[in-house]
Structure 1
Amino acid sequence: MRPLPLMLFAAGFGTRMGALTQNRPKPLIEVGGKPLIDHALAMARSAGVAKIVVNLHYLGPQIAAHLHGSDIQLSWETEQILETGGGLRAALPLLGVGPVMTLNTDAVWSGQNPLTQLLAAWDPAKMDALLLLLPCDKALGHTGHGDFLLDPDGRISRANGADAPVYLGAQILKTESLSAISEPVFSLNRLWDISIANNRAFGLIHQGGWCDVGRPEGIALAESLDV
């Protein structure tokens, strides 16, 4: 399948990183000598993604300067952070019409390219959402319970148990339902709930490793991955 446009989420305050993000945005924190956002961009390029949009708010000019000279488009959230749902909706004029991929920039991956996996499994005839997941005990740096249950056909439902798979921050979404949400600031959980209610939300288990780099201790964990 031809790669879809990609939204990289990079607007957050990174508060879980403590002093590390006092003067530097989390996407520019280095893992293995390379900023987190560059890890994400390398996967996008490897998957053949041509259109990439990055949303910016906290210390956004630093990320803009880092990306200067590239073909990446910037979606500025100047007045307030719009969260994942509001941020994606605000970026739609840059992303264009149709399904999009989204990827968080605070994780490091090993194994198969997550975007390639999603594209290979995406079936727009039956799916409005396809989320990449990993069993909770294999999700390095993750704290708390799992997020979703998978039925035999791959459809997801909400879960809150230690054994449930964890959402890894990579997905493909149809975006039409975003227009039905009136609030300017909202999470993509709202869109997932709509897709789940319509039996059109699916999950896919990542074929490889993953580490959340949301906290300082996640840096060393991520560097232990065979990337």
Structure 2
Amino acid sequence: MEYSVFLLAAGFGTRLRPLTLHRPKPLLPLLGFPMVQYAVTWLRQHGHDRIIVNAHHLWEHVAAWSEREGLGLQVELPDILGTGGGLKAARDQLAEEFLVWNGDIVCDINPNALLSECPVGGASMALRYSSDLKKTTKLLVNDEGIVQRIGDVCVADNAPNLPSSPDGLHFTGIHAMTRESLKHIQEGFQCVVRSSYKELVQQEKVRSIRHEGCWFDTGLPKEYFEANMSALRGEIPLSFDPWEKADDRFDDSFVHHEANIEGSLVQSIVGAKAHVSRDAQLHRCIVWDSVEVPAGVYKDGIFFDGGFLSIGEEE
């Protein structure tokens, strides 16, 4: 089988610790379901059901989930291969044109629009405008949508200098590539941008689409928390309706119908088979599935497999 999507799920999720010490980042729940579940559903809705997922950190969790979903699996052991090395290892299993999708990004990027812009032997990137690029790499694109610079790493001949302004376009982490473009990647651990894209940008073989819709990066505990709260308020367009599994007795909270609630909730999210004890009071809290909440008053935090994390603790 040739896969049309390479789903990235191997990373350590270092910035999300301690949450990712217990589950891989793509499997962290968003409104009661794994984040990556929304990506897979979105891709399938656009005709892409031949999906292979890579795994390294806590790979057994990813393997069990991918088997339930009927996905292909590439386990990277003993060492993680990076975005480039993982693609290189999967090369013979990938279609001539394929999507590279980050399993921990929630978005409504059109995968088929991205594929339609992918040139022969090249790649196409979904880009997004941001008014603050302190944490991301700025890109330059010409009037024809061809990527001329990715920071100072990938630079086409005669490309203009990067402007000093804090705003601009950045890479969403979602892109399309061709099998031929993987020839620029060496075996072992490699970054796809510093290997394949470095060559492709010089050859002007990287095109782009501009994404103006939904895009959430859940890189830090606070960002992950706020993404859940936004989803609870209905501000994120999700690829399926998690509320179909919710207990409708709770007006302002999402409670999975398999959860056991004895305490009180305000604007909170409780996953399947979780238990909120009688003397527990939750305000703007996330409770992962199968987690026990003891008595106490809790506000703005996450109950996860390893305990309780106040979102103020990660600053």
Would you call these one fold, judging by a TM-score over 0.5? yes
Q: Which amino acid aligns with 2:86?
A: G
Q: CA deviation at 1:145?
A: 4.0
CA contact (8 A) 2:125 2:174 kept: yes
1:128 aligns with 2:131: no
The higher relative CO (CA closer than 8 Å, separation ≥ 6) is in 1
Q: Structure 1 stretches of 5 or more lacking a match? A: none
Q: Give the unaligned 5+ runs of structure 2.
A: 152-163, 238-315
Give how far 1:208 is off.
Answer: 0.3
CA distance, structure 1, for counterparts of residue 19 and residue 31 of structure 2:
16
User: Where does residue 165 of structure 1 map in the other structure?
Assistant: 169
Match in the other structure for 1:106: 104
Alignment pair present for 1:150 and 2:133 = no
Distance 1:85 1:145 in 2: 19
Q: 1:5 touches 1:100 (CA, 8 Å); kept in 2?
A: yes
2:185 alignment partner AA? I
1:185 to 186, 189, 205: 189
Cross-structure match for 2:236: 226
Q: Is the 8 A contact 1:146 1:164 kept in 2?
A: no
Change (3 A) 1:154 1:180: closer
Match for residue 55 of structure 2?
A: 56
Aligned to 2:310: none
For residue 134 of structure 1, report the CA deviation from its aligned partner: 0.4
SS at match of 1:88: helix
1:143–1:108 Cα change, 3 Å: farther
After superposition, the C-alpha distances for 1:92-123 in whole angstroms (9 at most, x for unaligned) are 23224x1211001121114xx4313313x325
Per the alignment, in what secondary structure is the counterpart of residue 5 of structure 1?
Answer: strand
Q: Name the structure 2 match of 1:77.
A: 76
Give me the whole-angstrom Cα distance separating, in 1, the residues matched to 2:128 and 2:36. 21
Per-residue deviation, residues 167-215 of structure 1 (Å, max 9, x unmatched)? 1111111232433433411111111111111111112111302110111
CA contact (8 A) 2:139 2:149 kept: yes
Greater helix fraction, Structure 1 or Structure 2: 1
Select the structure of larger CA radius of gyration: 2
Question: Equivalents in 1 of 2:12, 2:77: separation in Å?
Answer: 13
SS in structure 2 opposite 1:68? Answer: helix
Offset of 1:137 from its aligned partner?
2.7
Structure 1 stretches of 4+ with a deviation exceeding 6 A read: none
CA contact (8 A) 2:4 2:94 kept: yes
Identity of matched residues, %:
30
TM-score when normalising by structure 1: 0.87
Tell me the CA shift for residue 222 of structure 1: 2.3
Matched residue count: 216
The CA distance in 2 between the partners of 1:31 and 1:50, in whole Å, is 22
Give 3-state SS (helix, strand or coil) of 2:167's partner: coil
Kept after mapping to 2: 8 A contact 1:107/1:214: no
SS of the aligned residue for 2:188 comes to coil
Q: When you count strand as a share of all residues, which structure comes out higher? A: 2
1:217 aligns with 2:222: yes
- What residue identity is the alignment partner of 2:80? I
| Deviates further, 215-224 or 40-49 | 215-224
Any conservation in 2 of the 1:55–1:91 contact (CA below 8 Å)? no
Structure 1 vs Structure 2 CA RMSD: 2.0
Distance (Å, rounded) in 2 between the aligned partners of 1:143 and 1:36: 25
Instruction: After TM superposition, give the deviation of residue 226 of structure 1 in Å.
Output: 2.4
Tell me if the contact between 2:118 and 2:207 (Cα under 8 Å) persists in the aligned partners: no
Q: Distance in 2 between matches of 1:159 and 1:7?
A: 22
User: Given residue 223 of structure 2, which amino acid in structure 1 is its aligned partner?
Assistant: G
Residue pair 2:55, 2:76 contacting (<8 A) in 1 also: yes
Report if aligned partners of 1:13, 1:21 keep a CA contact under 8 Å in 2. yes
- In 1: Cα distance, 2:68 partner to 2:11 partner: 23
Is the alpha carbon distance of 1:181 and 1:66 closer, same or farther for their aligned partners in structure 2, counting shifts above 3 Å? Answer: closer
For residue 117 of structure 1, the aligned residue among 93, 96, 113 is 113
